[in-house]
Chains A and B, each alone.
Chain A
């Protein structure tokens, strides 16, 4: 039924198979919409956030997806600016994933703030000293860039491409894509860094605070590094999952290798810097605040967290991904990428929730926090939206340029290359 929309030279499952798949994610999105309605209509009392946990699950989710969405700008940077042509095979999915991550993050933020109607006050009454202002400006601008990068892809849909204006517009955009890649890189460097700065500048929260050189440029680069280490891994993982779900090879194995290698080396350098950062924090900020290292690892947020973050989900995936022997094995590659992502998500969790959980006043109480179903709903809804959009993009847009080459469509034993869609006569 939707055959005219499906790109040339590729095969897609029947609508009967596709529809239930879509329905599943629509259902999850509905959960998100109900949660969003409750949070907007009744207020944020629908969450389990409180005066102590001013930030909760949503901010962890936002920070995580923004880090994971870094695959988009970084792949763009490598492809269009450094000229790593091999990555052209995944630049499209990377852009789509980036768009999904950023739009999901902004939507979640829209629910997260107590006065969504006034969200734009950040721009109207901007406080240039605030890291959040910087982050908001960059994220919004970058989402614009992503939209522009996504647009030619959408316009290359077979049906849309038939409209001459779209065709011309799309083609023109294609020519200046390097410019946007550069803009995206610039904006991303800023906001990934300032996202780290958001916590690093909280000088009255010794757990998050970094001083002098350790805040600028150290923390900024830690966050940039960690995001560009996790981004490619996430892109890799998404593509790999798409391959598993569709049962088709969509990009060449060598592309995965390249992504893993980049991810691994970046992760390795990040972990080294992170360890230096942690040590200098433990011997600098911490004793100056009159605290000892172990004061921060009490209650349910124990020392296991830092061991997990840096050791298990930091050093191990770095080793897996930088060792050619390991990353060439499929299961190790995937485990490595997954662990890498977990480590970075854990890092974002630690900076948000643990920072707030640790009482600073000696007579203050340690608080715990568990999200409500509404909070999970918003997050799951955002994930559902992501999968939905990615599935649609995969089905109707030429996402993987290598796909027709790797999976030639055969009709009666003949390979149909560039001649169009098979019609039953």
Chain B
């Protein structure tokens, strides 16, 4: 496959420091309330409920009292080489060349779910049910994000409407470029431990560009060449080992 030039334009990305993440779930809730995500009676059905940002709990598998637990918040990886985009038959999802964000047009999606089969991160979810908000709760819906209908696929958009909002503001002020903290997704903003850093990977001045150079930085399933723009940091070897598949002897410890 032809590799496209990813050095141009903005390439928004994220670094999630798993040493700082306490798994509190605020990012997930901030995301849900920012993006008008519906609720079901049975939210315990993780294979059917709607979340754009899923949190995985992972243990090191050791016995008491050597057990360790970490949490992996997983938004859409916004891959530079997205497996989901080329498969969509109706061009309902695309990579925005100016931001690197993978868009999803809900009103065009036909609900074939091919993109979900393509994504190994389970970042895409399908509306098996009609969107539902308990009685009275439609009063907090934000007009910035349209609620999705049954039968379409949806996913994390890096709060694209916030990018639009920031751009509109910059436009009014006659600026072309956004400041580093001017556009950040709701989950990043909400993280109480500031475990998530957001920025433009193509901008060397942004903190994120420095962070991804850390020997402890990694991405999920890097070997599959999806080129995710969401990075993680952990000083723990077992955590980094957990991020990808390795044959025995392949993984190098970097403590």
Interface residues, chain A, CB within 8 Å of chain B?
A: 43-45, 49-55, 112-115, 118-119, 121-122, 124-127, 129-133, 136, 198, 201-206, 287-292, 295, 355-356, 360-364, 367
Contact = CB atoms under 8 A, between A and B. Distances in A.
A115 B151 contact: yes
Interface SS of A by simple majority: loop
B83 interface: yes
B165 interface: no
Given A51-B125, A121-B108, A362-B245, A129 B113 contact: no
B114 A132 contact: yes
B244 interface: yes
Contact of B111 (A52, A113, A124, A133): A113
A54 B124 CA distance: 10
Given A45-B48, A50-B48, A136-B89, A292 B120 contact: no
Contact of A119 (B110, B153, B225): B110
Contacts of B111: 44, 113-115, 118
Contact of B48 (A51, A132, A203): A51
Given A52-B122, A205-B118, A292-B247, 8 more contacts: A43-B128, A43-B151, A51-B124, A113-B151, A126-B91, A130-B87, A361-B121, A362-B245
B108 to A, nearest CB: 6
Given A203-B225, A289-B224, A363-B58, A127 B122 contact: no
B112 interface: yes
B129 A361 contact: no
A355 B116 CA distance: 12
A198 B224 contact: no
Interface string B81-124: 00100111111100000000000000011111110111111101
A50 B128 contact: yes
B150 interface: yes
A356 B117 contact: yes
A51 B47 contact: yes
Nearest to B107: A118
Contacts of B110: 113-115, 118-119, 121-122
Contacts of A130: 86-89, 114
B87 A204 contact: no
B21 interface: no
B206 to A, nearest CB: 27
Contacts of A206: 224
Nearest to A56: B113
B230 to A, nearest CB: 13
A132 B125 CA distance: 19
Given A132-B114, A290-B250, A45 B152 contact: no
Interface string B211-255: 000000000110111100000000000000011111100100000
Contacts of B47: 50-53, 367
Contacts of A127: 86, 88-91
B236 to A, nearest CB: 14
A214 B114 CA distance: 21
Contacts of B117: 54-55, 202, 205, 355-356
Contacts of B220: 361
A50 B124 CA distance: 11
Given A51-B48, A51-B126, A204-B118, A43 B150 contact: yes
B113 A54 contact: yes
Contacts of A132: 87-89, 112, 114
A201 B108 CA distance: 23
B141 to A, nearest CB: 21
A126 B221 CA distance: 30
A129 B47 CA distance: 29
Q: Most B CB atoms within 10 A — which of A54, A112, A113, A127?
A: A54
Contact of B128 (A44, A121, A129, A362): A44
Contacts of B87: 129-132, 198, 201-202
B50 to A, nearest CB: 9
A53 B45 CA distance: 14
A423 B56 CA distance: 77
Interface in B142-160: 149-153
Contacts of B223: 288-290
Contacts of A125: 90-92, 108
B152 A115 contact: yes
B127 interface: yes
A364 B121 CA distance: 9
Contacts of B221: 204, 360-361
B130 interface: yes
A65 to B, nearest CB: 18
Contacts of B153: 114
A364 B87 CA distance: 23
Given A50-B48, A114-B151, A130-B89, A198 B128 contact: no
B65 to A, nearest CB: 22
Nearest to B149: A115
B90 A362 contact: no
A51 B244 CA distance: 21
Contact of A203 (B88, B126, B152, B224): B224
B86 A291 contact: no
A136 B83 CA distance: 20
Given A118-B110, A287-B247, A362-B244, A51 B90 contact: no
Contact of B83 (A45, A52, A204): A204
